[in-house]
Structure 1
């Protein structure tokens, strides 16, 4: 799964491929610069931006996934994802946020770079 930032004005946060609990990152289109990325996270309450990464609220990920609909075993797979990330040091000390790489959106029609970083 990954968090996608969509649009330039106003940018929004969407959870994509939410049934895939084997990977996690934040995907950002080229028209969203680092200031806009920080703003969309701050305004949504979904997390914060720190340097070249983001800290994404685990509770918000869970909420968005449940809104999209999950498989019966999704909760177990998500718990394993959180446990693995915790072992690797990719979860905040309080256990509330995933550390995520911010990557350029590489879908067709995007330029594949993040401005302002």
Structure 2
């Protein structure tokens, strides 16, 4: 298991965001095949930070995580896991946008 992943894909000018491994709260990141895909998802992913090899981190709104979880977000156990992940992120200084977004490492796969 790789943790909670938000996978970004762009096809035919449509940005697709998917939540992968939504029940594994031990890790969190955003991945895309190309850095340009992240730029296209900029309306949904906030503050994409660039590095010499492309984006290295971004802020993911907590509401987006819940939205991408779909029906799973209504599960009390899933909700507890998400809240624990958010609390841990806060303890590390990874909450952004006044606590409404989580800083995520970006992987270009």
Distance 2:21 2:71 in 1: 10
RCO greater where, 1 or 2, for CA within 8 Å and sep 6 or more?
Answer: 1
TM-score, normalising length from structure 1? 0.73
CA RMSD of aligned residues (A): 1.9
| Structure 2 residues not aligned, in runs of 5+ | 51-55
> Contact between 2:7 and 2:20, CA under 8 Å: does it hold in 1?
yes
Offset of 1:102 from its aligned partner?
Answer: 0.7
For residue 33 of structure 1, the aligned residue among 35, 48, 71 is 35
Distance 1:7 1:38 in 2: 10
Offset of 1:104 from its aligned partner?
Answer: 2.1
| Structure 1 residues not aligned, in runs of 5+ | 106-117
The 5-angstrom pairing of residues 88-107 of structure 1 reads 88-92=92-96, 94-105=98-109
Structure 1 runs, 4 residues or longer, greater than 6 Å off? none
More strand by share: 2
Equivalent residues, number: 99
